[in-house]
Structure 1
Amino acid sequence: MTDTNDGPEYDVDFREHPEQYEVGRGEEGVFKVEPYKGELLPLWGYADRETADEGGEAIYRQFREYREAGDFPGMDMARKYLQMGYTRAMRYARYPGGRKYQNGEERDPVHWADHDKREAALVYEVWWERVEADDAYRAAKEAHRER
């Protein structure tokens, strides 16, 4: 019996086949869509403000390279990593240890359980909003959806 969790989710190089890329919701695909996962994941981190500054800047720099190359899947994946930096850091900022559920029940959030993670989240939020407001990204997203 083969373990279906081994290897990439998709047997597709989305740079070679951008027409097969689906935008999806939120952060879908961040750990599955190659070659972008391999390029962006090593840049991403949210331990504290400094880590988020470095990660956000590096991912945004990669976003600009994708934009210049007309690589919409890359642009969107960079956006997803920035969004995930915000959401993951904020989860740890609001829930001790990042655990939203305890004994199957949703815990009440704590403001702020981890101030370093909150700072990291706020850094990523700025980079994420910059990408979302980018005219070239918006146009490419619309064109990709129309295909």
Structure 2
Amino acid sequence: MQNHPFDGINLKDHPSAYRIGRGEYGIFHAEPYKSELLPLWGFKNERIARQAAEAIYNKYKQYRKEEDFVGMDVARKFLRMGYTRARRYAKYPGGKKYNEDGTVKEVTALDEEKQRAAEIFDESRSSIVEDPKYQRLKDEFIGE
């Protein structure tokens, strides 16, 4: 049984099965890209975030050179996920956003190192979104 539209599909071989989606939609189902990018990803501190963002951006450049839009977009999503996760941990100790009763915890102070980690990911993600080749390939992909 498939739980996601990408499950069991090699998106390198069948890129038309990919859907851009919102946020980080599909990131853990986008093979073989997930297997290539997930080991590079981490956000525990600023040093790890910098290494991860650089490694993921380097994979983005490889996909870009190959004009592999799906790989480029999944790399963008991993950078976005680095930002959102680091930001959550910056705002909420232990990454726990909700109280036991389901209400959102109050943010009292930001963890500055986690905030810097989030910013590192966001800078790399912005470079991708602003890349004219990414934009062109995205437009072509959507027009398929």
Aligned residues of 1:96 and 1:110 also touching (Cα < 8 A): no
Alignment of 1:136 onto 2:133: yes
Residue 114 of structure 2 corresponds to 117
TM-score (norm 2): 0.93
Matching residue within 34, 37, 59 for 1:62 = 59
Once the two structures are TM-superposed, the CA of residue 115 in structure 1 deviates from its matched residue by 2.2
Give me the whole-angstrom Cα distance separating, in 1, the residues matched to 2:55 and 2:42. 11
Give me the whole-angstrom Cα distance separating, in 2, the residues matched to 1:9 and 1:67. 21
Q: Helix, strand or coil: the match of 1:105?
A: coil
Matching residue within 28, 31, 39 for 2:36 = 39
More displaced stretch, 25-34 vs 37-46: 25-34
Give me the whole-angstrom Cα distance separating, in 2, the residues matched to 1:27 and 1:125. 14
CA offset digits 1:82-134 (Å, max 9, x no partner):
0111010000000111111112111122331x222111101111101111101
Give me the whole-angstrom Cα distance separating, in 2, the residues matched to 1:145 and 1:111. 41
Matching residue within 99, 104, 107 for 2:105 = 107
Matching residue within 57, 78, 82 for 2:79 = 82
Give me the whole-angstrom Cα distance separating, in 1, the residues matched to 2:70 and 2:32. 10
Aligned-pair identity in percent equals 43
Aligned residues of 1:40 and 1:59 also touching (Cα < 8 A): yes
Residue 27 of structure 1 corresponds to 24
Query: What runs of 5+ residues in structure 1 fail to find an aligned partner?
Result: none
Query: What runs of 5+ residues in structure 2 fail to find an aligned partner?
Result: none
Aligned residues of 1:53 and 1:123 also touching (Cα < 8 A): yes
Aligned residues of 2:6 and 2:17 also touching (Cα < 8 A): no
Give me the whole-angstrom Cα distance separating, in 1, the residues matched to 2:57 and 2:36. 12
Q: What is the RMSD computed on CA atoms of the aligned residues?
A: 1.6
User: Number of aligned pairs?
Assistant: 142
Alignment of 1:97 onto 2:66: no
CA change 1:84–1:93 in 2 (3 A) is same
Once the two structures are TM-superposed, the CA of residue 9 in structure 1 deviates from its matched residue by 5.7
